[in-house]
Amino acid sequence: MKITEGYMPYLNYQTYYRIVGDITKPSLVLLHGGPGSTHNYFELLDSLACDDYCVVMYDQLGCGNSYVEGRPELWKPETWVNELIALRKHLNLTKVHLLGQSWGGMLALDYVLHYNPVGVESLILSSTLSSASLWASEQHRMICFMSEADQHAIEIAEETDNYESEEYIIANTHFMHAHCAGVYEIGKAPDCLTRPKRTGEESYLYGWGPNEYTPTGSLAGFEVTNELKNINIPTLIISGTNDLCTPLVAKTMYDNIKHATWYLFPNCRHMVFAEATTQYIQLLQSWLKQTESVSH
What is the tens place of the pLDDT at every residue in 72-124?
999 999 999 999 999 999 999 999 999 999 999 999 999 999 999 999 999 99
Indicate the number of domains in the chain: 1
- Region 142-156 average pLDDT: 98
- Region 266-295 average pLDDT: 92
What's the pLDDT tens digit per position in 236-259?
999 999 999 999 999 999 999 998
Question: Among 32, 39, 97, 270, which one carries the catalytic annotation?
Answer: 270
Question: Known catalytic residue: 147?
Answer: no
- Region 126-132 average pLDDT: 98
Residue 252 has φ and ψ, to the nearest 5°, of -60, -40
Contact 13, 68 (CB under 8 A): yes
In a domain, 157, yes or no: no
pLDDT computed for residue 185 by the predictor: 78
In a domain, 150, yes or no: no
In a domain, 161, yes or no: no
In a domain, 46, yes or no: yes
Q: How many helices (H) and strands (E) does the chain have?
A: 10, 8
Question: Known catalytic residue: 177?
Answer: no
In a domain, 246, yes or no: yes
Task: Collect all residues with Cβ–Cβ distance below 8 Å to 197 and sequence separation of at least 6.
Answer: 38, 40, 63, 64
Dist. CA 160–CA 195, nearest whole Å: 35
In a domain, 203, yes or no: yes
Classify the C-alpha dihedral 270-273-276-279 as positive or negative. positive
Of all residues in the chain, the percent with pLDDT exceeding 90 is 94
Contact 44, 51 (CB under 8 A): no
In a domain, 71, yes or no: yes
Residue 237 has φ and ψ, to the nearest 5°, of -105, 130
In a domain, 280, yes or no: yes
* Position 293 confidence tier, pLDDT thresholds 50, 70, 90: low
Classify the C-alpha dihedral 143-144-147-153 as positive or negative. positive
- Range of the structural domain that residue 119 is part of: 3-135+186-294
128 sits in the region (left: phi over 0; alpha: psi -120 to 50; else beta) called beta
pLDDT computed for residue 188 by the predictor: 84
Task: Collect all residues with Cβ–Cβ distance below 8 Å to 293 and sequence separation of at least 6.
Answer: none
Q: Closest Cα partner for 56 from 11, 14, 79, 24?
A: 24
3-state secondary structure of 211: coil
Dist. CA 182–CA 163, nearest whole Å: 20
Dist. CA 192–CA 6, nearest whole Å: 18
Output the pTM of the full model.
0.97
pLDDT at 63 > cutoff 90: yes
Question: Known catalytic residue: 102?
Answer: yes
What's the pLDDT tens digit per position in 183-194?
787 788 899 999
Question: Among 59, 110, 150, 243, which one carries the catalytic annotation?
Answer: 243
* CATH number, domain with residue 264: 3.40.50.1820
Dist. CA 84–CA 69, nearest whole Å: 19
- DSSP-derived letter for residue 25 is S
- Region 140-167 average pLDDT: 98
3-state secondary structure of 61: coil
Q: In the chain, what is the straight-line distance between the N-terminal and C-terminal CA atoms, in Å?
A: 26
261 burial level (CB within 10 Å; 0-12, 13-18, 19+): middle
Question: Among 102, 126, 130, 131, which one carries the catalytic annotation?
Answer: 102
